[in-house]
A and B are shown apart, each in its own frame.
Chain A
């Protein structure tokens, strides 16, 4: 079942200038993006900084206005014109657990905040809910009176998770959820997110630039470049059979853990880099934008130009 459907999404930010501060141009952060996320899957959105992946996630969440397009959640249109409705079924986990928690609030208030927005609970019930949530994310229920700085990075990210699942959402948008964490803590959070997904039957939109992590977590992956999709497919299709030159380059750029293959990797990267430079005009139009996606199998779509 399709949980989220994004149809021709465009998010443009105006550039103002001149004497009257009129709109003179626009940054096309997201420029015609289509994708669907099915119930229960983990969908990876990958791209470099400036590719529009975070803006796409924020648009679904209702954190920025959209310029054009439709967002459907459970077959219901979320946006009225440019405004996107905020739904309690969609929650977000942010990149940096050090800055996304208010340092002057206690854990109790941080986690209770979304509950207070939507539900009227008595103080007692509220406290019980927060304690339940804390034990669900593996933190001790006694920690409700602590402040964020008393926790380690991994624990803080768990507080962020507890806040995100407080309203029993169906879709969780994770924007680089482990990028700020050390590898061992990263492993902890990733394992935990997988367990939680099974337990609560959650759907994830996983936004990241780290392809290793994406491969570990995601079922299907979309690759963005300059506000557009260049390729979408299952994990296997993207990693074993990348079709678009940008995807090839991205996959080639991942550092390999085996020092013996270093020289080969270097040569391969140079080769892909040359291919990228030489065939850039074949894969991108005159404005440097990717073409429309065309299906090559049932699950695999690639932005290739019209032939002939």
Chain B
């Protein structure tokens, strides 16, 4: 098998608070292959965006330990000048909020031109303009010649996000990192943008890291899913397995807390407690244990690791074997286990 496009090994990204460093991404390892969408799911504070920013080298003052191999080359802690050869070229990013990610004082065309000037300096100006208009067409912006000279505020949210995507794909990146690409958009626009991203991925054969908290988006887009909690991956599996046979208590809790369209639950599941802040993350034992206090302590491992329970399906800690929701009785659970 060929090498993965992106290989993250034991990545630890720490931020300084006061005198000490606290790890927001704590010993994360994962791979992304060509033409694959890996979704990273988690709530705010789970470290998913910190992970993406680490790969792109966008953290200013964070301490980054571990390795990030992009096509076999270690890009962790690469100097800015070196990193700039990758960024916007082979490696690019789609940001969450299209209004703040674009320069309000620069026409759309010129903003796209910037990445071309940086990475395709030998292309003459007229050719660049032609290419940019093609790009705008590619992301389905109507009247691209007109939009070329418009400012971001003249465009709607969906159109702005298309411009961001046009910038991201301008140099046909091999790896695209999308950080909540549709969170700021309406549902119908979201559906269009997701369809567009899927098409582009197939065309360019690129790998995509999709960061989101929206499980619906994950189910629509991802090939594989990594669930993050408190800086760690707690479960990783292919998308069908994750939705049909979730194992980690956190994944199961998340799935039961969203209002579903096709069945009418009376009450949504509420995860006990709150997401711990970076400074107060439990660094020992199972980090999720405080959120499921009704599970006995000896169900957790002392040093929870990821266990491969079926090919490609990893679950952290042993507590998943003993987990049940507080409103189902423990006997039911044991019965189920005995059956299977």
B74 within 8 A of A: no
Query: Which of B44, B189, B240, B258 contacts A187 (CB under 8 A)?
Result: B258
B78 within 8 A of A: no
- List of A residues within 8 angstroms of B269 by Cβ: 187
A271 within 8 A of B: no
Query: Which of A152, A191, A239, A255 contacts B268 (CB under 8 A)?
Result: A191
How many residues in A have their beta carbons less than 8 Å from beta carbons of B?
A: 39
Task: Write the chain A residue with the least CB distance to B220.
Answer: A255
Q: Which of B243-265 contact A (CB under 8 A)?
A: 243, 253-255, 257-261, 264-265
Bound-state Cα–Cα, A152 to B267, Å: 22
| Pair B213/A183 contact, Cβ less than 8 Å | yes
- List of A residues within 8 angstroms of B258 by Cβ: 183, 187, 212, 257
Q: Contact string, B162-205, partner A, CB cutoff 8 A, digits 1/0?
A: 00000000000000000000000011111100110000000000
Interface residues on B, range: 35 or more
Chain B: minimal CB distance from A295 (Å): 26
Query: Which of B219, B255, B270 contacts A188 (CB under 8 A)?
Result: B270
B302 within 8 A of A: no
Q: Which of A183, A258, A265, A266 has the most CB of B within 10 A?
A: A183
Bound-state Cα–Cα, A153 to B43, Å: 12
Query: Which of B216, B239, B240, B253 contacts A255 (CB under 8 A)?
Result: B216
Chain A: minimal CB distance from B161 (Å): 13
Bound-state Cα–Cα, A186 to B256, Å: 12
Chain B: minimal CB distance from A251 (Å): 9
| Pair A269/B191 contact, Cβ less than 8 Å | yes
Chain B: minimal CB distance from A218 (Å): 11
Q: Which of B206-242 contact A (CB under 8 A)?
A: 213-217, 219-220, 222, 239-240
Q: Contact string, A195-234, partner B, CB cutoff 8 A, digits 1/0?
A: 0000000000000011111011100000000000000000
A209 and B268 in contact, given A183-B254, A257-B243 (Cβ under 8 angstroms): no
Bound-state Cα–Cα, A194 to B269, Å: 14
Q: Which of A170-203 contact B (CB under 8 A)?
A: 182-188, 190-191, 194
Task: Write the chain A residue with the least CB distance to B242.
Answer: A259
Task: Tell me whether chain A's interface is mostly helix, strand or loop, or mixed.
Answer: helix
B144 within 8 A of A: no
A97 within 8 A of B: no
| Pair A184/B195 contact, Cβ less than 8 Å | no
| Pair A184/B215 contact, Cβ less than 8 Å | no
B17 within 8 A of A: no
Chain A: minimal CB distance from B293 (Å): 15
- List of A residues within 8 angstroms of B259 by Cβ: 187, 190, 212-213, 215-217
B157 within 8 A of A: yes
Chain B: minimal CB distance from A246 (Å): 9
| Pair A186/B257 contact, Cβ less than 8 Å | yes
| Pair A260/B261 contact, Cβ less than 8 Å | no
- List of B residues within 8 angstroms of A25 by Cβ: none
Chain B: minimal CB distance from A165 (Å): 20
| Pair B191/A253 contact, Cβ less than 8 Å | yes
A49 within 8 A of B: yes
| Pair B257/A212 contact, Cβ less than 8 Å | no
- List of A residues within 8 angstroms of B240 by Cβ: 259-260
Query: Which of B217, B239, B270 contacts A184 (CB under 8 A)?
Result: B270
Q: Contact string, A234-259, partner B, CB cutoff 8 A, digits 1/0?
A: 00000100000000011011111111
* B binding-site residues for A, Cβ under 8 Å: 43-44, 157, 186-191, 194-195, 213-217, 219-220, 222, 239-240, 243, 253-255, 257-261, 264-265, 267-271, 274-275
23 interchain pairs (CB within 8 A)?
A48-B188, A49-B157, A152-B275, A182-B275, A183-B43, A183-B215, A183-B254, A184-B43, A184-B270, A186-B257, A187-B271, A190-B259, A212-B259, A213-B259, A216-B265, A216-B268, A255-B217, A255-B219, A256-B219, A256-B220, A259-B239, A269-B191, A269-B195
Identify 4 new A-B residue pairs, CB closer than 8 A, beyond the known A183-B258, A211-B187. Answer: A182-B275, A216-B264, A255-B214, A255-B220
* A binding-site residues for B, Cβ under 8 Å: 48-49, 152-154, 182-188, 190-191, 194, 209-213, 215-217, 239, 249-250, 252-260, 262, 265-266, 269
